[in-house]
């Protein structure tokens, strides 16, 4: 059940002098949904193309279900792929588009019909079987793309930023669709995106990439709550990342009164990044427990009914967001307050 479906070993790819991928190794288990998350240029799409065989790696191996397929041409790898630009065949109807991989594999006509109909039902497009791609909306086209990619029950499904070309309001719908279909079929899926929300919502595991390397691999929970580096923290959407100077287990910022202490500081010294969730910071006008507070200025305070959203400034340029739900009154902009960071809620991240 948990055997490895797909494995990438030490993949490297150079375009001229540039290392698009630098010693990347990943494994995807049967039925697992792995997302490659990173900014454009990080190498995720290149990696995907190496998986399909469209690009050859300069070194490293691609192993599918225990078999080394690095030398296998792409059309023999039996993977399904959903494209960012949909890539539907314009001259074929929806039905024929979906049936295409089955035709190639010489699946008998009756079986073809069965599989195609089932795929259409899975993406809720039964009524559009005879339409042509140009007659469909973006969302519908992408659903056809999805149907086409799974109709022949590949062992691996690849998705290359499939939601990027869709309107914002469609994305959530499609996301749910993708989730449904992949769970239902239990196919090992590799999903590429730069959108951290998609990654968090869909994945069993996320591999965060930058500059051709995998920075951190983990479950959405791990990535979100314990990012390993500053880059990962920033990318996954944390804005409360700031640098302190650690000395003797205690972290301080030049020009700011107060200090922080946490387990993670123990063996460190020098500049270190920490972050903390906006909801975990406590505010008061006097210090609390001396050890974990920083004196800062309130820059903005917005009352939102169930909570107050503050923007605090530690030093010019370093700002924090804090959500306070304890109805303790409003701190007005300009006031100086103490922000307390519970030591168990602070996460230390590597500077990268």
Partner 1 sequence: MKQQPVESPTVTVGKARTRLDWAAWALALPLVVFLAFAFFYPLGYTVVQSFLKEHGAGATLLNYSQFLASGKGQGVLLLTVFLSLMATLVSVLLSVPLALVLRKRFFGKSFIQFLMLVPALIPALVGALGLLILYDRTGWLNYFLVRVVHVAPHPLVIDYTIPGMILFYVWIYFPYGALVILSGLQSIDPSVEEAGVVLGASPTRVFWSIVFPLLRPSLWAGSILIFLQAFGAFSVPLITGGNHRPLAVMIYTTATVFLEWPRASAMAVIMGLIQAVLVMVFRRLQSGKEATS
Partner 2 sequence: MTFGFRMRPWRRLLMIVSLALFVLFIILPFVMIFLQAFGADWFGMEPLPRAWTLKWFQWAGETVDIVKVLINTLIIGFLATVIALAVSIPAAWAIARRRLPLKGLLMGLILFPRMIPEITYALGVGRIFYFLNLTNTYLGVALAHVILAAPFAVLVLTSTFEGIDNRLLEAGTVFGCNTSQLFLRVILPLALPGIVAAALFSFLSSYNDFVLTLMLYGPDTVTLSVQTFLTFGDGYTSVASAISVILLIPALLFLAALLRMVKPENLLGGLKGA
Please give the residue ranges that form the binding site for partner 2 (CB under 8 A): 49, 53-56, 73-74
**β-pairing verdict for 213-218 and 205-210:** antiparallel
Cα–Cα distance measured from residue 163 to residue 34, given in angstroms and rounded to the nearest whole number: 16
CB of 89 vs partner 1, minimal distance in Å: 6
- Token readout for 351 is 């500077």
Cα–Cα distance measured from residue 265 to residue 267, given in angstroms and rounded to the nearest whole number: 6
112: left (phi over 0), alpha (psi -120 to 50) or beta: alpha
Which of partner 1, partner 2, none binds 293 (CB below 5-8 Å, type-dependent)? none
3-state secondary structure of 201: helix
Which of partner 1, partner 2, none binds 55 (CB below 5-8 Å, type-dependent)? partner 2
Alpha helix stretches (DSSP H) within the chain: 44-52, 94-104, 109-122, 138-150, 168-185, 196-202, 220-225, 230-235
Cα–Cα distance measured from residue 206 to residue 189, given in angstroms and rounded to the nearest whole number: 12
Q: Which residue's CB is nearer to partner 2, number 56 or number 219?
A: 56
Q: Which residue's CB is nearer to partner 2, number 55 or number 214?
A: 55
261 to 300, contacts with partner 1 by CB under 8 A? Answer: none
154 to 173, contacts with partner 1 by CB under 8 A? Answer: 158
Calculate the CA 25 to chain-centre distance: 17
Q: Which residue's CB is nearer to partner 1, number 100 or number 342?
A: 100
Q: Which residue's CB is nearer to partner 2, number 56 or number 335?
A: 56
Q: Which residue's CB is nearer to partner 1, number 54 or number 121?
A: 54
What are the φ and ψ backbone dihedral angles of 325, each rounded to 5 degrees?
Answer: -110, -5
Provide the 8-state DSSP code for 11.
E
> Counting contacts by CB under 8 A, is residue 153 touching partner 1?
no
- Token readout for 192 is 């590429």
Q: Which residue's CB is nearer to partner 1, number 67 or number 91?
A: 91
52 to 111, contacts with partner 1 by CB under 8 A? Answer: 52, 54, 73-81, 83-85, 87-91, 100-101, 104-105
Which of partner 2, partner 1, none binds 133 (CB below 5-8 Å, type-dependent)? none
Q: Where does this chain bind partner 1 (CB under 8 A)?
A: 52, 54, 73-81, 83-85, 87-91, 100-101, 104-105, 148-149, 152, 158
């Amino acid at each position: 059940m948990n055997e490895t479906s797909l494995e990438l070993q030490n993949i490297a790819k150079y375009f001229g002098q540039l290392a698009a991928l630098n010693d990347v190794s990943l494994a995807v288990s049967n039925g697992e949904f792995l997302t490659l998350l990173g900014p454009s240029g990080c190498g995720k799409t290149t990696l995907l193309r190496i998986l399909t065989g469209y690009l050859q790696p300069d070194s490293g191996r691609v192993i599918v279900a225990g078999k080394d397929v690095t030398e296998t041409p792409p059309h023999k790898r039996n993977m399904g792929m959903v494209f960012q630009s949909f890539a539907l065949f314009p001259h074929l109807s929806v039905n024929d588009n979906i049936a295409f991989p089955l035709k190639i594999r010489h699946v008998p006509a009756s079986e073809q019909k069965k599989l195609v109909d089932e795929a259409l039902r899975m993406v809720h497009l039964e009524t559009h079987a005879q339409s042509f791609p140009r007659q469909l909306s973006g969302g519908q086209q992408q659903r056809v793309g999805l149907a086409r990619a799974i109709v022949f029950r590949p062992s691996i499904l690849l998705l290359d930023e499939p939601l990027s070309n869709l309107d914002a309001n469609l994305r959530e719908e499609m996301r749910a669709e993708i989730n449904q279909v992949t769970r239902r079929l239990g196919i090992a899926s590799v999903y590429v995106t730069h959108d951290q929300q998609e990654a968090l919502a869909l994945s069993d595991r996320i591999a965060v990439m930058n500059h051709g390397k995998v920075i951190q691999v983990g479950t959405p929970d791990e990535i979100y709550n314990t990012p390993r580096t500053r880059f990962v923290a920033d990318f996954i959407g944390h804005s409360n990342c700031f640098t302190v100077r650690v000395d003797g287990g205690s972290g301080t910022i030049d020009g700011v009164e107060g200090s922080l202490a946490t387990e993670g500081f123990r063996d460190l010294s020098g500049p270190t990044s920490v972050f903390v969730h906006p909801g975990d910071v406590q505010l008061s006008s006097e210090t609390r427990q001396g050890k974990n507070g920083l004196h800062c200025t309130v820059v903005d305070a917005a009352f939102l009914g169930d909570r107050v959203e503050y923007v605090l400034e530690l030093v010019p340029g370093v700002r924090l967001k804090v959500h306070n739900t304890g109805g303790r009154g409003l701190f007005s902009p300009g006031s100086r307050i103490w922000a307390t960071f519970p030591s168990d809620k602070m996460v230390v991240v590597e500077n990268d």
